[in-house]
Structure 1
Amino acid sequence: MNPLLNKLQPYPFEKLKQLFAGVQPNAAYSPISLGIGEPKHPTPDLIKKALTDGLSGLASYPSTVGSDALRAAIAGWLERRYGLPKIDPATQVLPVNGSREALFALAQTVIDPTKGDALVMCPNPFYQIYEGAAYLAGAQPYFVNSDPARNFAPDFSSVPEDVWRRVQLLYICSPGNPTGAVLNLDDWKELFDLSDKYGFIIASDECYSEIYFQSEPPLGGMEAAHKLGRTGYPRLISFSSLSKRSNVPGMRSGFVAGDAEILKKYLLYRTYHGSAMSPSVQTASIAAWNDERHVEENRAKYIAKFKQVTPLLEEVLDVRLPDASFYLWARVDRDVAISDTEFAKRLYAEYNVTVLPGSYLAREAHGINPGQNRIRMALVAEVEECLEAAQRIVEFTQKLS
């Protein structure tokens, strides 16, 4: 067996299952889960219709590169959404089966395993795929803690130069999971300058980009590169997905875009990896990327939901409205000394509400676990269920204090 598999940690939800083992939740309450970031809003009818209309394509093997029509739809969306100049659908865009598998596969493509000291850098807390991708590519993860004083942006200025020289790939998530923080243009300039100096590739995970609460949409990596005059998006690959934007997590549809030279090698890897998108999913994806009305309606639901839920939880927890994404990232020990795991376990036992301990989403690095004593709440259900969960959390927290 591959010995690198032994480096992988259990996924956060497996840890949560172990935490709850033997706990009988209060039967007086119906179960509500805020633990998993799985969209619960209905899938738009236009996407379901396009999916069934495309079933005739199942009789053909799909190509890894995807159809011309799909790549054109993705390129068009990028140009409209981020104000980008003409994107070449043939060389700068590649459809993928959801951003998760693509984020993992990129590390296998770009890491040079002959360099035993290779590093993959990522924010902390983080999406666990980044860590697993690093280990299985033969590299080591290096965690940069998110700083609450910097709107949870990672403090890259704290990284020593000898570390930067070993970095081959940097994962960044904006809007962030779990913090919801969005990088600004100065943040991106800092990353691009570091990439130019040390030669590493930036993987920009932007799967939450269409759920936001400000008047201006979140800045994307390719958008930042364009504004800074970086023609051709050197050493930058952006990842996006329909899962959150269009409420189709089960469809497994997304894309990568950016540096054409990297995508050329990435496509070569993927032809062997066997990750071509189903023709029917391609047809549905074209319909989704070409329509913004359902995205605006979906975003309005989240805005209304967060507007009602956040003030309730602010009464008892250290939490505020994020820049974007559908998570609340709350500190639980504001008024009482309690760990994130104990908070989650007791909340489940006494009020039948599931939240995810923040320490499960981070690693101890540089002397601290930046997720400690925090919880992540995914407000993915309809507003009534999220409000009920918030009211139970308020009652539980008031009882603690």
Structure 2
Amino acid sequence: MNPNLEKLQAYPFEKLKRLFADLTPNAAFSPISLGLGEPKHATPQLIKDALIANLNGLANYPSTNGLESLRVAISRWLANRYTIPALDPSTQILPVNGSREALFSLAQAVIDTSKQGDITPIVMCPNPFYQIYEGAAYLAGAQPYFANANPAKNFAPDFSQVPESIWQRTQLLYVCSPGNPTGAVLTLEDWKELFALADRYDFIIAADECYSEIYFGETPPLGSLSAANALGREGYPRLITLSSLSKRSNVPGMRSGFVAGDANIIKQFLLYRTYHGGAMSPSIQAASIAAWNDEQHVAENRALYLKKFSQVTPVLQEVLDVTLPDAAFYLWAGVDKHLNISDTEFARGLYRDYNVTVLPGSFLAREAHGINPGRNRIRMALVAEVDECMEAAQRIVAYVKGLQSQLTT
């Protein structure tokens, strides 16, 4: 077996299962999960209709580079969303089976373990992070290096502390903006710094933007392609952007997304995927075209999240260190303020006493540079309906107030 498999850690939800293994939740409360970031809003009817109308596509082998009409739809969406010139559908865009699959396989395609002799290449990751980045690094024969979140930057990763010796070994940098779990969005200055580093040290940036369409202000989050265009980076050198319909259109089961950017990288990634077997079903492609061509359902979806966050955040601010994020559908809350309790203890007690599931922040990060930047924080995914999320918030308030009363007696 591949010895790098031994380096993989249990996924956060497996750790959560173990954390709760000896607990019986209070039966007086119905279960509410804020743990898993799985969209719960209804799938738009237009996507269902397009899928059903194209079920005959199941009788055909799909091509790896996908239908031209899908690539054109994605190119049009990118141009409209990010106010950039249209990308070439034939050379700069590739449909993928969800961004998760492509985030993993991209590392397998681009990491060159022979480039620096016996020196192990580096894959740079934010910390906390989406665990696929770490697994992709290990199984590509690389070593992950974690750039810790900086609370002063709204928990965006702080790349300024990375030593030059690490940059010299870096071949791939994963960036998640809007971030999971923090909701942080990189600024144009952040992107300018990263592009300069990529040019200087010759590495590829993989920009994970699957949460780009869930935001709470009037201005959409800045994307990597629009940042590159604004900075005059014609052709998007060393940049691959990844996005998905899962969160935008509430279709996580469709496994539909795309990669876009540097045509030279796309060309080699397409070659890899031809052997990897990453082609998307023609039926799913047809439904995806319908989804990318429609913005009304996206605006309606975003409005539902805005309503939830506007109601839930003030309630939780009464007892937790939490603010409205830049974007995405998570609240990243501190739990140790005046409570003298860890994130894992908090999650156990909340589950046991009030049957509410949250994810300990330490499960989403690694000990790096002397700290685990997720410790004593929790991630709450506000993916359920408004009433259920409000009920969960009220139970959390009751739980924290109970802890506070114990400390004063």
Normalised by the size of structure 2, how large is the TM-score?
0.98
- The answer to whether residue 21 in structure 2 is matched with residue 21 in structure 1 is yes
1:40 aligned partner: 40
Deviation of 1:354 (Å): 0.2
Q: For 1:58, what is the secondary structure of its paired residue?
A: helix
Task: Give matches, 1:104-253, under 5 Å.
Answer: 104-114=104-114, 115=116, 116-253=119-256
AA partner of residue 49 (structure 1): D
The one of 332, 340, 347 equivalent to 1:329 is: 332
1:83 aligned partner: 83
Percent identity between the aligned chains? 74
Q: How many residues align?
A: 401
Quote the Cα distance in structure 1 between the aligned partners of 2:40 and 2:70.
Answer: 26
Q: Deviations over 1:68-105 (max 9, x none)?
A: 10000000000000001121000000000000000000
Quote the Cα distance in structure 1 between the aligned partners of 2:3 and 2:86.
Answer: 45
AA partner of residue 292 (structure 2): W
AA partner of residue 86 (structure 1): A
2:82–2:223: 8 Å Cα contact kept in structure 1? yes
Quote the Cα distance in structure 2 between the aligned partners of 1:86 and 1:206.
Answer: 18
AA partner of residue 306 (structure 2): I
1:389 aligned partner: 392
Poorly superposed stretches of 4+, deviation over 2 Å: none
Q: CA RMSD in A?
A: 0.5
Q: Deviations over 1:23-64 (max 9, x none)?
A: 100000000000000000000000000011110111110000
1:299 aligned partner: 302
Q: For 2:378, what is the secondary structure of its paired residue?
A: strand
Q: Deviations over 1:232-291 (max 9, x none)?
A: 000000000000000000000000000000000000000000010011100000000000
2:6 aligned partner: 6
Quote the Cα distance in structure 2 between the aligned partners of 1:57 and 1:174.
Answer: 34
Quote the Cα distance in structure 2 between the aligned partners of 1:48 and 1:226.
Answer: 35
1:280 aligned partner: 283
Q: Deviations over 1:110-151 (max 9, x none)?
A: 000224420000110000000000000000000000001111
Quote the Cα distance in structure 2 between the aligned partners of 1:251 and 1:335.
Answer: 44
AA partner of residue 371 (structure 1): G
The one of 354, 367, 371 equivalent to 1:368 is: 371
Normalised by the size of structure 1, how large is the TM-score?
1.00
- The answer to whether residue 302 in structure 2 is matched with residue 269 in structure 1 is no
Deviation of 1:315 (Å): 0.4
Deviation of 1:214 (Å): 1.3
2:62 aligned partner: 62
Q: For 1:73, what is the secondary structure of its paired residue?
A: helix
Deviation of 1:335 (Å): 2.1
Deviation of 1:154 (Å): 1.3
Gaps of at least 5 residues in structure 2 are 405-409
- The answer to whether residue 379 in structure 2 is matched with residue 358 in structure 1 is no
